[in-house]
Amino acid sequence: MVDDPGLRALSEAARLSPDNLPLRRHLAEQLLGKGYLADAEAEFRAALVLAPKDPDIVAGLAEAFVRQSSYGEALSALEPLLAEGGYPPKVGVLAARALLGEGDVHKAAYRYHEAVSRDPSVADADLAGRLVAPPPVVAEPAGPPAGNPPAPSAYMAPSSVTHERSTAEVERSGFSFADVAGMDEVKEALRVKLLLPMQQPELFAAFGKRAGGGVLLYGPPGAGKTHLARAAAGELGAAFVSVGLADILDMYIGSSERNLRATFDLARRHRPCVLFFDEVDALAARRSDMRQTHNRQLVNQFLAELDGVDQNANEGVLVLAATNAPWYIDVAFRRPGRFDQLVFVPPPDADARAAILRILCRDKPLAEVDFGAVAKVTDQFVGADLKGVVDRAVEAKLQESIRAGRPVPLSTRDLLAAAKTARPTSVREWMATARNYVMHANESGAWDDLMPYIQRKW
């Protein structure tokens, strides 16, 4: 029996107007929030009769089940949403918790990572820590696009496992260029290089040009390279396969090449596909270590895969790579048909910061917010830093909302307060390093985009 007077009053109100969906939903959420799990379950069920497919109600019911350790029932409740795809990321996380409760770590990890890739704010460190899958696994056969979990053997264990495995998964990106603030020139460059040849192949063929070759994105950490690559995939309606090259290098000698091949094959089976390599400098940076010969082989393998065994091998596969340290990249990578285009992803200026903040806040309860004012006090903050500011402000607001018992909207003041306690990560240091490497080494003009930035005072 619920002994909270507020909740009892709400229950009574719901009893008197049983068809009032917002009221029932509110009651169910309150019950769940206060830990009356069985009552919450009953209320969510009642609400579900009124709105059978409402994802929030399904999620609430599933959460009530999960917290009562009724994992099978949680999965049954979630099933219709999961089968349809396009469900809210928090539903994926709930499914992961239920699957984990059922002992299916592989599927749980798949659901979890798929959800977090679509919305990093649903990440749950505790859950993620319990999802370390047992080794060894290679990327064969391919995981299907988001929606259906892959066969367990297709799940690639996270990097904390040091056995042979591929780190790749196939994602469907929910982002497009509209989700990337600023960077108009960068987006335009990618459009010409990647998107137009795919969208208008006849035009390119008429000029005797083939789609292909990769683009190397470089810039300070957190400036949005990964976000941009993911958005490019979404813009094109292509699958997205993301690989940390440092992870591939950490595998046992001899198996890395196989994993690299498996990763390219995975992308080829899902064309059109954006194949994204993060930390591509890892291939070069470690060439001085013990595994030098092995790494050389890996570089060669990488280049061979990039070139493709025949003209059509990589048709429909757009290779993007990102690095914070472009000066380490092997010149062989930059030959025509490989990463022949370098694209600088700059730290955002004030306008771009305001636009990034607006994007980061768009699904939050907002009061009137002056994003320009927040942008002004966040000089040198990159996208990742701004995300930290928003997360911090939201966290504070959440506490306040819990105390108030209703959502208290985010205001300019909250964001300014969060910005005040935050420090930008590394743009100044990155520019100083870039200056050292690049200032007197731009004969070919490869660093033209970067030059104005490193000549400026930071």
Residues 6+ away with beta carbon under 8 Å from 345: 183, 186, 217, 218, 219, 223, 224, 225, 228, 322
Name the segment binding ligand ADP (CB under 6 A); options: 220-228, 243-251, 392-400, 416-424: 220-228
**Exposed (0-12), middle (13-18) or buried (19+): which is 392, by Cβ within 10 Å?**
middle
Among 101, 221, 244, 308, binds ligand ADP (CB under 6 A): 221
CB atoms < 10 A from the CB of 199, how many?
Answer: 15
Rounded CA-CA distance 40/279 in Å is 46
Which residues between 44 and 103 bind ligand ADP (CB under 6 A)? none
Among 187, 225, 270, 397, binds ligand ADP (CB under 6 A): 225
Q: CB of residue 134 vs ligand ADP: minimum separation in angstroms?
A: 28
Q: Which two tokens stand for residue 38?
A: 């069985």
Is the Cβ of residue 322 or residue 454 nearer to ligand ADP in the bound state? 322
The HSE-up count of residue 10 (CA atoms within 13 Å, CB side) is: 20
Rounded CA-CA distance 238/231 in Å is 10
Per-residue contact string for residues 256-275; x = within reach of ligand ADP by CB under 6 A: --------------------
Among 24, 172, 227, 270, binds ligand ADP (CB under 6 A): 227
Rounded CA-CA distance 299/330 in Å is 9
Length of the chain, please? 458
Q: CB of residue 74 vs ligand ADP: minimum separation in angstroms?
A: 29
Rounded CA-CA distance 274/225 in Å is 13
Is the Cβ of residue 40 or residue 386 nearer to ligand ADP in the bound state? 386
Is the Cβ of residue 105 or residue 325 nearer to ligand ADP in the bound state? 325
* 415 sits near ligand ADP (criterion: CB under 6 A): no
Is the Cβ of residue 173 or residue 226 nearer to ligand ADP in the bound state? 226
CB atoms < 10 A from the CB of 85, how many?
Answer: 11
Backbone angles phi, psi at 262, to 5 degrees: -60, -35
* 384 sits near ligand ADP (criterion: CB under 6 A): yes
Rounded CA-CA distance 142/270 in Å is 9
Among 226, 259, 323, 378, binds ligand ADP (CB under 6 A): 226
Name the segment binding ligand ADP (CB under 6 A); options: 73-81, 179-187, 189-197, 252-260: 179-187
Is the Cβ of residue 262 or residue 357 nearer to ligand ADP in the bound state? 357
Q: CB of residue 288 vs ligand ADP: minimum separation in angstroms?
A: 24
Is the Cβ of residue 46 or residue 350 nearer to ligand ADP in the bound state? 350
Q: Choose among 281, 326, 332: nearest CA to 446.
A: 326
Q: CB of residue 385 vs ligand ADP: minimum separation in angstroms?
A: 8
Name the segment binding ligand ADP (CB under 6 A); options: 27-35, 59-67, 181-189, 235-243: 181-189
Is the Cβ of residue 31 or residue 228 nearer to ligand ADP in the bound state? 228
What's the angle, vertex CA 229, arms to CA 227 and CA 232, rounded to 5? 110
Name the segment binding ligand ADP (CB under 6 A); options: 74-82, 180-188, 328-336, 415-423: 180-188
Name the segment binding ligand ADP (CB under 6 A); options: 163-171, 177-185, 293-301, 396-404: 177-185
Rounded CA-CA distance 154/173 in Å is 19
* 234 sits near ligand ADP (criterion: CB under 6 A): no
Q: CB of residue 28 vs ligand ADP: minimum separation in angstroms?
A: 31
Among 32, 183, 241, 319, binds ligand ADP (CB under 6 A): 183
Among 77, 99, 223, 454, binds ligand ADP (CB under 6 A): 223
Name the segment binding ligand ADP (CB under 6 A); options: 234-242, 255-263, 299-307, 382-390: 382-390
Name the segment binding ligand ADP (CB under 6 A); options: 8-16, 216-224, 262-270, 397-405: 216-224
Rounded CA-CA distance 369/207 in Å is 49
Binding site for ligand ADP (CB under 6 A): 120, 180-183, 221-227, 322, 356, 359, 383-384, 387
